[in-house]
Chain A
Amino acid sequence: MEELKYLEFDKFLNNELTETEKISFEERLNSDADFKQEFEIYKALETSLSSKFENEEAEKELRNTLTELGSTYIKDKIQTETKTITKTKTSETKVISLKRYRNLMIAASIALLIGFFIFKNGKPVYSDFSKHNSLELVVRGDNNETINKAEEAFNNKNYKTAFAQLTILEEQLPNDVEIQLYKGICLTEMDQFSQAETIFNSISEGDSAFKYKATWYKALNLLKQENFEACKEVLKTIPESTEEFEQAKKLLKKL
């Protein structure tokens, strides 16, 4: 019974009733207040929902426009107010909106915080630049076990063991500059600065492929001692054509 009533509403609204059905429907509307009220609600729901769903996309687009305008005009005005600048007629002037401004401030303060972590007293610290390449001493000679131990220890930041293993290796391969370089790195890590410097000096004064790598590490060795001026001077000797130049430039900028 109820169901039929709503189907009849639907048909009436779609103009699908026969003439006689229509007349009796209208008669009932006039005589039955409850029937009439339900019909009115049904009709209103139909209009409202159909409009809502039809315009969903358009409403979204309008909202986008309004959000944009809102942040331009409302935030801008407030900013100009605080700056006591009279608004120009064109209003095309791009003032940073307050929201964006606030975001910028947040970004800036985060950057500042990070800065504090990285740079004590505004100076760079050794650990920010001491990302050593892992030790990979391709097969040199046949003493693989010592090489493995040295590599494993170094790559696990176990510098004391690595230094010991590298020293053994050095005896077998006295002319291997890479081994010496890594010994130097281990020494820096262990805060044996003067020993480390001796090694780096001898490599950087030579002509091996590790010349500038050694120079870089000589600088890092000084950085770890917070000897910033000396560090700078060493960095400046690294030429642009080398692999180390970019890092050196970066560090120089922060010093």
Chain B
Amino acid sequence: MNKKPHADHIYIEALLKNDSRVLSKLYEKFSHKIVAYVRKNNGNADDAQDIIQETLVTIYNQAKEKKFILTCPFDAYFYLLCKRRWLNELKKRGNNRVTILEDEASIKDEHEQQVEETEIFEQQSQLFESKFKELGVKCQELLKATFKIKSMEEVAEFLGVTYGYARKKKSQCMGKLTQLVKNSNEFQQLKGY
């Protein structure tokens, strides 16, 4: 897939660098529309702020982990993501009979594809995180140490075990986690692989 970054990719870069100057431009330019949408649909400014923040953090994580490249204008991509997140939130709150005011029909396929990419990324991360929490405390600790420290020798030293044991334990815990993910309903629905 040929991925040529859109000029708006600067916003993704700004998230990665925690560049408050560019990020304030982002808020200035794009938040208004989202706030208006949320407020029109049973929400308030606080809700909108949460929606915007969570969406941006997700994009940040995706960019960190998957080297996400934005290939479409940020505006439409961001707006659609926030909108769908808000609709999900309303569903979660049990607000099923909300009349959703549809206001835009011009979302292009390209945007939609990027939006879906981000959404799948998030669902997957959430699934992994929730399954990780189902692991025993020992496994959680060991894996956390593994991913933070990186070198297995140091992990072994940190935990006061032999290298061989740390290694074996790590793959055991990861195996367990793999099973938990594989057997979950959410995974059956996720077809991102």
Q: A residues touching B (Cβ–Cβ < 8 Å)?
A: 2-3, 5-7, 9-10, 37-38, 40-42, 44-55, 58-59, 61-63, 65-75, 77-78, 91, 98-99
Residues of B within 8 A of A9 (CB): 171, 174-175
The total of interchain contacts (Cβ-Cβ below 8 angstroms) comes to: 125
Q: Taking chain A's interface residues, is the majority helix, strand, or loop, or is none over half, making it mixed? A: helix
- What is the 8 Å Cβ interface bit string for chain B, positions 47-71, against chain A (1 contact, 0 not)? 0110011001100110011000000
B85 within 8 A of A: no
Are the CB atoms of A74 and B49 closer together than 8 Å? Answer: yes
Does any Cβ of A come within 8 Å of B3's Cβ?
Answer: no
A190 CA / B78 CA spacing, docked (Å): 73
Kindly identify, within residues 150 to 183 of chain B, every residue whose CB is under 8 Å from any CB belonging to chain A. Answer: 167-168, 170-172, 174-175, 177-178, 181-182
Chain A residue numbers with a CB within 8 Å of B18 are 58, 61-62, 65
The answer to whether A48 and B125 touch (CB under 8 A), given A6-B171, A74-B45, A78-B35, is: yes
Does B168 contact A73, Cβ atoms closer than 8 Å? no
Q: Which of the residues B49, B143, B144, B187 comes within 8 Å of A70, measured between beta carbons?
A: B49
| Least distance between B22 CB and chain A CB atoms (Å) | 11
Q: How far is the CA of A77 from the CA of B35 in the complex (A)?
A: 10
Contact A7 B167 (CB under 8 A): yes
Whether the Cβ atoms of A38 and B182 lie closer than 8 Å is yes
A–B complex contacts, Cβ < 8 Å, 9 sampled: A3-B172, A6-B172, A9-B171, A42-B178, A54-B148, A61-B18, A62-B18, A71-B49, A98-B45
Chain B's interface size range is 35 or more
Which of B26-34, B86-94, B95-103, B108-116 is near enough to bind chain A?
A: B26-34
Query: Is B132 an interface residue when CB atoms closer than 8 A count as contact?
Result: yes
**In the assembled complex, B124 has its CB within 8 A of some CB on chain A:** yes
CA distance A62 to B26 in the complex (A): 14
Question: Would B28 and A74 count as touching, CB distance under 8 A?
Answer: no
How many angstroms from the CA of A54 to the CA of B145 in the assembled complex? 10
Residue B134 lies at the interface, judged by CB distance under 8 Å to chain A = no
Across the two chains, which residue of chain A brings its CB closest to B173? A6
Closest to A73 in B: B27
Question: A52-B125, A59-B61 in contact; A73/B31 too (CB < 8 A)?
Answer: yes
Q: A50-B147, A62-B18, A65-B23 are in contact. Are A44 and B175 (CB under 8 A)?
A: no
